[in-house]
Amino acid sequence: MEKRRVNAMAMAFSPCFSPLLFLLLIVGCTARPLYPLPSKVAEGTRKPLQISRPYNIAHRGSNGEIPEETAPAYMRAIEEGADFIETDILSSKDGVLICFHDVTLDATTDIYQHKEFANRKRTYEVQGTNTTGFFTVDFTIKELRSLRVRQRYPFRDQQYNGQFTIITFEEYISIALDAPRVVGIYPEIKNPVFINQQVKWPGGKRFEDKFVETLEKYGYKGSYLSKEWLAQPVFIQSFAPTSLIYASNLTGLPKILLIDDITVPTQDTDQSYWEITSDKYFDYIRKYVVGIGPWKDTVVPVKDNYLQTPTDLVARAHSHNLQVHPYTYRNENQFLHYNFHQDPYQEYGYWINKIGVDGLFTDFTGSLNNYQEWTSSLALNDSDDRASKLLHKIALMVTSYEKV
């Protein structure tokens, strides 16, 4: 044994020992891992979900460009680098789950152009407020498909108005599963109190039952970061704590408790913002959820469009092992606080690097992806530069030794 050790040491310091081999050994220890090019990945496999940086959550798809919750909005978001595509789930009159944000059709469809539906306008109590309009629950899925979606905000691109239809929950899932890489879904159990009041399913099933059954039908299962979850990632979200707790008895899939403005109580338990963001409540709800999704202006208060001192909400949530996914990040000046000088990249940098969030709901998936790719590249370039300088010094030392 001692003889082999001496021989090895002699070879290492022999003039015949190749400096190139020595350098290769160093490179193997210091360089970042080499991964196969996309074209070299075995057929039938897909690039996995990235889990090394905050999640890029496409809020209602890439709806800064294309009308929200439509198939093209989701496909554009996937093209632009979304980790998750987010949606709101409601129901039709005949119990088909659909992707649509508002309980009424008025703001984002051409319902007023359909005279055949003029007598469908109703007034219902929704979250304690009387709301009048054309409600999704008063239309069959066939009737809903006859409508066309339009852009919510007048200052966004209007060229796609009237081109796309409302899609179902199942169609939305298929878009994610058909993506060329692993893309997660982030569906919300939307207005469950209202939906359960207005829509009845066979066998006394609830909205939450149908919601979870749909996920299971398409193979979604597993706890956060499990092998099954990484293959088909999903977060279930809701503003209604009782819905999330009920769903927890149906599935172990990870859930996110959404948190509204400080003036808005929970829609099912009538709890205040301060109650549901207390340490006591975090201790309780962490048994059912893996994180919270707060309105970002409650994390960092705003006055006269300027950011104020950040709250301790993120730090306290993290201390309870809860992720934080704030909403909603938008590029337009109407939504950017003055601190960011009309630059959405500054906003992303602030929330990721200073506040330390774990995911961001954005209307502009491409912008967030660009920011993360560029900043990741800078970090890698800095690392590569340090490694190159180290190798250069080692090479000079080896060369000096050979000359001796």
For 30-81, what is each residue's pLDDT tens digit?
333 333 333 334 446 899 999 999 999 999 999 999 999 999 999 999 999 9
Domain count for the chain, please give it: 1
Asked if residue 43 is part of any domain, the answer here is no
Give me the domain span that covers residue 281.
Answer: 55-101+162-388
SS (H, E, C) the chain: CHHHHHHHHHHHCCCCCCHHHHHHHHHHHHCCCCCCCHHHCCCCCCECCCCCCCEEEECCCCCCCCCCCCHHHHHHHHHCCCCEEEEEEEECCCCCEEECCCCECCCCECHHHCHHHHHHCEEEEECCEEEEECEHHHCCHHHHHCCCECCCCCCCCCCCCCCECCCEHHHHHHHHHCCCECCEEEEEECCHHHHHHHCCCHHHCCHHHHHHHHHHHCCCCCCCCCHHHHHCCECEEECCHHHHHHHHCCCCCCEEEEECCCCCCCCCCCCCHHHHCCHHHHHHHCCCCCEEEEEHHHHCCEECCEECCCCCHHHHHHHCCCEECCECECCCCCCCCHHHCCCHHHHHHHHHHHHCCCEEEECCHHHHHHHHHHHHHHHHHHHHHHHHHHHHHHHHHHHHHHHC
Asked if residue 154 is part of any domain, the answer here is no
pLDDT tens digits for range 350-364: 999 999 999 999 999
pLDDT of amino acid 385 = 57
Asked if residue 123 is part of any domain, the answer here is no
Task: Output 384 or 158, whichever has higher pLDDT.
Answer: 158
Asked if residue 399 is part of any domain, the answer here is no
Q: What is the CATH number of the domain that holds 220?
A: 3.20.20.190
Band (pLDDT 50/70/90 cuts) for residue 378 is low
Asked if residue 106 is part of any domain, the answer here is no
Asked if residue 28 is part of any domain, the answer here is no
Asked if residue 397 is part of any domain, the answer here is no
Asked if residue 303 is part of any domain, the answer here is yes
Mean pLDDT to the nearest integer, 280-306: 98
